[in-house]
Amino acid sequence: WKLPGRPVLVPVYIQRGMLRALEALEARSWRAVSKTLERTRYMNAARLLHATKFLRTRSAVGALRAGAATAVAAAVATSTSGTAFAVAGCQSAESRAAIPLSSSFIADAAARVAPALVNISVQPAGSGLRAAMQGASGSGFVVDPSGLVLTNCHVVRDAAARGGTVTVTLSDGVTRLRGVVEHSDAISDIAVVRVNHHAALPAAELGSSSDLRPGEFVVALGAPLGLTNSVSFGIVSAIERTRSELGLHDSLGARNTTAYIQTDASINSGNSGGPLLDVHGRVIGVNTMKAMGMDGIAFAVPIDEVKRVVRQLTAHGRVLRPYLGLKFIELSEPVAEELNARAAEKESRGLFGGGHVARVPARGLYVMHVTPGSPAQRAGFRIGDTIVGMRAGSPAAEVVSTKQMVDGLSEHVGGQVELEVSRDGEKANSWLEVTVETMQT
């Protein structure tokens, strides 16, 4: 670091004076921290200090999480002996503090959820060699102490459809319980299994996948190849991988809008249904599949999507998927340019009867087909409309993706919503009220 006049390496040691300064200043706001760092010129205001030895004390960890970087700067200024700080990048004054990681953070995260991990085996109805060969196995995890287990639908499909036997083995490897498939949804590939036990079962803590970023550490638990209580480690390679990107086709009569988490954590046969964890040991996804013949490419259903599916399964016994009778494509600048270029070419050839063709906007959902007799047709939708917004008893929200549209409609199945439409030949957007019906799947 360059202090005024000359570069120096500032030494720091864990001492009582430092901790007193920390306690006195830990209530300061991030804005004050930023100004202090600028004023003292220890470093750019967008940088914070991160001390390995300093973080070993519990009080220091708590203070850093609370944003007490001013105390760190003050301690640096007053210290004269000890070991050196390392510089860690920080975001803005309003951003969250850096999360300290120990050398055993993977083991710590796994240990928090390991007691809730279960192995699931399914024996189809019937007997003989064929029934034995059709048996399936996978993983799952307890989400409620009363005995509620989450897993993948494909793990327990045979039991749900043909009355097979589900056996749930707890993390001790000894206790085996009879499982009953309470709910399952093949489209999202999520199932809920119920077990009965004389005592409350340890349950995993569910986190959130909404703010997940590529590059974050993740831990996958499961029983690959029947090897129970296995742990693998990796990063989030990408978020919101759609089924079309993965080359998957919807064959169940409903559009699957699940956007998967891609990870390089090892997920193999038997890991299906197991939890994907963040560094705090919170479940952020359900391990679902891997790319065949490839290492380091695996996918998990985001936990926020799982929560939504389970809520609907619990309330209705199935997932209510909205139906309007529309087929549309997501617009982007390249897609809009292509559509506009095609329209301009047809216009120049007189294929529109000499009429003017309005330009397609760069954002929204472009309607390609309206099903006759559908709710959308009754509401007045036309081919060529672009859906750009939605409201239903709340402030209007912009609509730019299929998932955003479906998620918004899912909360209002059986009711009515208003969709904002950009239409050819109209200067102002119009709002169309449409009844959201449910698709039978």
Q: Active-site residues: which are they?
A: 154, 189, 272
Q: Which residues pair with 180 in a beta bridge?
A: 194
In this structure, are residues 370 and 326 in contact, taking their beta carbons and an 8 Å threshold? yes
In this structure, are residues 384 and 336 in contact, taking their beta carbons and an 8 Å threshold? no
CA dihedral 361, 362, 363, 366 (to 10 degrees): 60
Q: Which residues pair with 183 in a beta bridge?
A: 192
d(C-alpha 418, C-alpha 430), whole Å: 10
- Please list the helix, strand and coil fractions of the chain in percent, rounded to the nearest 5, in that order: 25, 30, 45
Q: Is 410 helix (H, G, I), strand (E, B) or coil?
A: helix
Q: Which residues contact 326 (CB under 8 A, 6 or more apart)?
A: 367, 369, 370, 371, 374, 376, 381
d(C-alpha 118, C-alpha 116), whole Å: 6
